[in-house]
């Protein structure tokens, strides 16, 4: 299987993760205007399923190093199977809430508040579990990012007040999504072998762990998303009949969204072998800034905002950049 042995390569993969995690939600935006996020999400999960299999049978199976994809699955212990499945269930609930927040409040608020909060808590959780890197630089970087998150939320609040809108539902959904999402990575990471060249008995390769993680997402989606179809956070209920009546463009958008997100997650798990789980997760969550950039410059979610709002957004982007640089330096030991 393919193994990352260079910190430089690990950082590069984390940047790709950041781009993927911050960009997949655009596929929801380009789906048909009447295509509800609950329907979009079924195709999104299909995209994740397809990628997990492709990932395992290619990079997870080629080369003489480490353990092959099917071999890893075959020797997995019960805990190594259950933990990533739990991680998938936690992620799926949190991500559904995030997608709902995007539908209610837009990318410019859902990503900085939801994913940003996830980054702060997730780095703390993963560093406590597997301490790797300079904690001073790491947590100063995370602290700077926290300030950037607060600035973005304040900027959105100003814009919402000027337009006489109430963003409370979108912000609440984003916070709930962030708190839950901070935990999924730790459950998946706990099942992965420390030494990928010579894995401990019962432990998984990142490729096998990602596969079981995906199973948790797929199975839980029949519960969570079916419930949301009947009890939506916004709008009227939707049916499976509407899903099968969707256009090719709408279905393809969701599948591509799942493929993009899955690529980012897979690369993050691979990079963690060299960078450490806290740094890998933290860098990937720079997706917050990428999502905000899409929301501000492409989807014009802050169109018509005053100079005060624009200044706050500019400062937010500068702080995010500074925070990410410190996180990178924290791992370059």
- What is the model's pLDDT at position 100? 80
Question: Taking a C-beta distance cutoff of 8 angstroms, is the pair 112, 290 a contact?
Answer: no
Does residue 44 have a pLDDT over 90?
yes
Distance CA 189, CA 206 (A): 8
pLDDT in tens, 263-318: 999 999 999 989 998 889 888 877 777 877 887 777 776 776 666 788 888 898 89
> What percent of the chain clears pLDDT 70, i.e. is strictly above it?
93
Burial class (CB in 10 A: 0-12, 13-18, 19+), 265: buried
pLDDT in tens, 57-83: 999 999 888 999 999 999 999 999 999
Mean pLDDT in residue range 28-56: 90
- What is the model's pLDDT at position 142? 87
Question: Taking a C-beta distance cutoff of 8 angstroms, is the pair 63, 277 a contact?
Answer: no
Distance CA 269, CA 4 (A): 10
Q: Of 150 and 1, which is predicted with more confidence?
A: 1
- What is the model's pLDDT at position 208? 97
- What is the model's pLDDT at position 333? 58
- What is the model's pLDDT at position 300? 75
Mean pLDDT in residue range 12-21: 93
Distance CA 278, CA 182 (A): 11
Residue 85 in tokens: 């499945």
Does residue 166 have a pLDDT over 50?
no
Does residue 170 have a pLDDT over 90?
no
Q: Of 210 and 150, which is predicted with more confidence?
A: 210
- Residue 31, classed as helix, strand or coil, is coil
Does residue 222 have a pLDDT over 70?
yes
């Amino acid at each position: 299987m393919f193994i990352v042995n260079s910190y430089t390569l690990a950082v590069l993969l984390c940047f790709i993760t950041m781009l993927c995690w911050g960009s997949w939600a655009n596929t929801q935006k380009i789906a048909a205007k009447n295509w509800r996020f609950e329907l979009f999400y079924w195709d999104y999960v299909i995209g994740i399923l397809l990628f997990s299999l492709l990932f395992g049978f290619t990079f997870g199976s080629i080369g003489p190093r480490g353990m092959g994809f099917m071999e890893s699955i075959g020797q997995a212990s019960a805990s190594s199977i259950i933990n990533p499945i739990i991680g998938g269930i936690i992620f799926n609930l949190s991500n559904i809430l995030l997608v709902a927040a995007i539908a209610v409040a837009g990318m410019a608020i859902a990503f900085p508040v939801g994913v940003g909060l996830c980054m702060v808590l997730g780095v703390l959780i993963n560093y406590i579990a597997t301490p790797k890197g300079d904690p001073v630089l790491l947590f100063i970087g995370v602290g700077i990012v926290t300030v950037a998150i607060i600035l973005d939320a304040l900027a959105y609040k100003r814009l919402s007040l000027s337009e006489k809108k109430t963003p409370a539902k979108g912000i609440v959904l984003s916070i709930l999504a962030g708190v839950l999402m901070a935990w999924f990575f730790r459950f998946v990471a706990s099942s992965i072998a420390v030494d990928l060249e010579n894995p401990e008995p019962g432990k998984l390769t990142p490729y096998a762990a990602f596969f079981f993680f995906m199973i948790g997402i797929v199975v839980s989606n029949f519960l969570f998303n079916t419930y949301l179809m009947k009890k939506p956070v916004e709008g009227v209920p939707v049916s499976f009949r509407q899903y099968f009546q969707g256009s090719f463009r709408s279905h393809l958008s969701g599948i591509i969204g799942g493929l993009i997100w899955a690529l980012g997650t897979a690369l993050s798990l691979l990079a963690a072998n060299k960078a450490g789980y806290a740094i890998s997760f933290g860098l990937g969550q720079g997706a917050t800034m990428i999502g905000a950039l899409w929301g501000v410059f492409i989807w014009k979610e802050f169109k018509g905002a005053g100079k005060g709002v624009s200044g706050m957004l500019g400062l937010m982007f500068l702080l995010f950049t500074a925070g990410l640089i410190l996180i990178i330096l924290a791992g370059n030991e």
